[in-house]
Amino acid sequence: MTKNSPRNAALALFLISGATFPVCAAPVSATKNIVLVHGAFADGSGWAAVSAILEKDGYKTFIVQPPETSLEDDVAATNRVLDGLDGPAVLVGHSYGGVIITEAGNNSHVKNLVYIAAFQPDTGESLGSLGAKLPPASKAIRPTADGFLYLDSALFHADFAADLPDAEADVMAKSQVYLSVKSAGTAVTSPAWKSKPSFALVATEDRSINPELERFMYRRSNAQVVEVTSSHVAYISHPADVAALIEKAAR
């Protein structure tokens, strides 16, 4: 990402206008480590505004960059970050990142899980099987010849990031991280949400994951749920709402 990219410019404006978001200092008893995991077709830079709010409120954030080459590789990348922490953590996932944290959440450092417009699979379920249960509105996913998936750039803005400015969505479409078919089809074996509390955000205008699927998954896990009128990328377009839910989990 270049110094003058739309996303960096947006973050700069956010930091300058910090008074827009009231400071909620982290209680002494709160879990201070927050580990953020992005999903398919995105990268860790999308967490910039959420991270800034959390850091301002006294939390320490860590942003995982899963390679999206296999679920095993992505869980390993997350555990690598978790194993380096000095205490407990709240583990947060967006989209496919929810599949990752469902497995990586078994790490002993993880106290609570937060799902942001994310998949929350049960034993034997994968991103692919859940998506087939209640399909999304989007038809933008395309395959490559070597076993990866990406979003058609012509549909990226409308189907993935409808509430972001055109220029920012365009940069995201150009820089998207391709998801391996292997990652999408690998089933979860040990869902951490069955033994650890979970919190979740439903993006009501989501075209990449069916909002009804989000509600179904979060209801069966007894997650504490909030709903936000947002596209799939709520963590970018509604950072204050996302940070507030993460801080609730941390408390």
State residue 229's pLDDT score.
Answer: 98
State residue 196's pLDDT score.
Answer: 98
User: How many CB atoms lie under 10 A from the CB of residue 113?
Assistant: 27
Task: Tell me the per-residue pLDDT of 162-210, one tens digit each, with 9 for 90 and over.
Answer: 999 999 999 999 999 999 999 999 999 999 999 999 999 999 999 999 9
Position 155 confidence tier, pLDDT thresholds 50, 70, 90: very high
Alpha-carbon distance 121 to 129, whole Å?
9
Would you say 131 and 125 are in contact if contact means Cβ atoms under 8 Å apart?
A: no
- CATH code of the region 28-250: 3.40.50.1820
Report the DSSP beta bridge partners of residue 200.
Answer: 115, 225
Task: Tell me the per-residue pLDDT of 201-235, one tens digit each, with 9 for 90 and over.
Answer: 999 999 999 999 999 999 999 999 999 999 999 99
Q: What is the DSSP letter of 150?
A: E
Task: Tell me the per-residue pLDDT of 8-60, one tens digit each, with 9 for 90 and over.
Answer: 444 544 443 443 444 467 887 889 999 999 999 999 999 999 999 999 999 99
State residue 28's pLDDT score.
Answer: 79
**Dihedral angle computed from the Cα positions of residues 153, 157, 160 and 163, in that order, rounded to the nearest 10 degrees:** 170
Would you say 82 and 63 are in contact if contact means Cβ atoms under 8 Å apart?
A: no
State residue 27's pLDDT score.
Answer: 81
Report the DSSP beta bridge partners of residue 34.
Answer: 61, 90
Is a pLDDT exceeding 80 seen at residue 64? yes
58 class by beta-carbon count within 10 Å (0-12 exposed, 13-18 middle, 19+ buried): middle
Strands 60-64 vs 33-37: parallel, antiparallel or unpaired = parallel
State residue 1's pLDDT score.
Answer: 40
State residue 24's pLDDT score.
Answer: 67
Is a pLDDT exceeding 80 seen at residue 126? yes
Position 133 confidence tier, pLDDT thresholds 50, 70, 90: very high
Domain boundaries, the chain: 28-250
